[in-house]
């Protein structure tokens, strides 16, 4: 069983190495088999197709992101500071683990058309929603308002990340200022009536 786990991990590690060095579109089963000195049938024994490899790599990315966001949350005790730390961790993940982020959110890559439902993809959303919910003090919280605030944060941050990854049209300092302004605006809007 351990050999099987090691082989599976080796396939995924090598696939991710190819992606990091050559890009997502460079990954194919033949190249993967050549890099690890396996035959293609050995790889197919562990992964039915390339999409299954993408799914497992996406799962890895979501787990790493959840760990980073959870650790950031735990550095703070006040909800407003927690949410800022969590979004900073999210931002840092996007640029430290660029290939994972691209796969997880389909940025500037064409991998496969059918997205699978990966349970781990919900971990960060759940962590963020928990903190955002605790920030509703002066106004009542309901599921719709909670979702609106979460997606207000996420759309601003993810949009900035996507722009930064695809085209560097403005400098990093300006991206950081826009990022901080977006966080502050959404946070300030949580306890207003609109």
**Tens digit of pLDDT for each residue in 128-166?**
999 999 999 988 889 999 999 999 999 999 999 988 888
pLDDT of residue 194: 56
Terminal C-alpha separation, the chain: 56
Percent of the chain at pLDDT exceeding 90: 63
Domains and CATH numbers, the chain: 1-47 (1.10.10.60), 59-189 (1.10.357.10)
Considering only CA atoms, give the Rg of the chain: 19
Q: Is the pLDDT of residue 90 over 60?
A: yes
98-118 pLDDT tens trace: 999 999 988 867 655 455 678
> What confidence category does residue 5 fall into, taking pLDDT thresholds of 50, 70 and 90?
confident
Helix boundaries (H) for 23-78: 29-36, 40-46, 50-73
Q: What is the mean pLDDT of residues 75-81?
A: 97
Burial of 102 (0-12, 13-18, 19+ CB in 10 A): buried
Q: What is the mean pLDDT of residues 62-75?
A: 98
């Amino acid at each position: 069983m351990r050999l099987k786990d090691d082989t599976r991990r080796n396939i995924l590690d090598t696939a991710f190495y190819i992606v990091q060095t050559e890009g997502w579109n460079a990954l194919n089963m033949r190249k993967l088999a050549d890099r690890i000195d396996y035959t293609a049938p050995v790889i197919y024994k562990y992964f039915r197709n390339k999409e299954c490899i993408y799914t497992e790599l996406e799962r890895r990315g979501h787990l790493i992101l959840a760990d980073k966001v959870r650790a950031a949350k735990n550095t703070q005790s006040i909800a407003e500071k927690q949410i800022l730390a969590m979004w900073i961790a999210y931002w840092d993940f996007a640029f430290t683990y660029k290939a994972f982020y691209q796969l997880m959110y389909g940025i500037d890559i064409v991998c496969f058309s059918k997205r699978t439902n990966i349970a781990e993809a919900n971990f960060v959303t759940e962590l963020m929603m928990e903190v955002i919910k605790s920030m509703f003090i002066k106004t009542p919280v309901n599921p719709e308002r909670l979702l609106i605030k979460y997606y207000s944060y996420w759309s601003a941050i993810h949009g900035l990340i996507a722009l930064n990854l695809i085209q560097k049209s403005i400098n990093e300092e300006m991206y950081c200022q826009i990022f901080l302004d977006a966080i502050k605006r959404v946070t300030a809007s949580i306890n207003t009536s609109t």
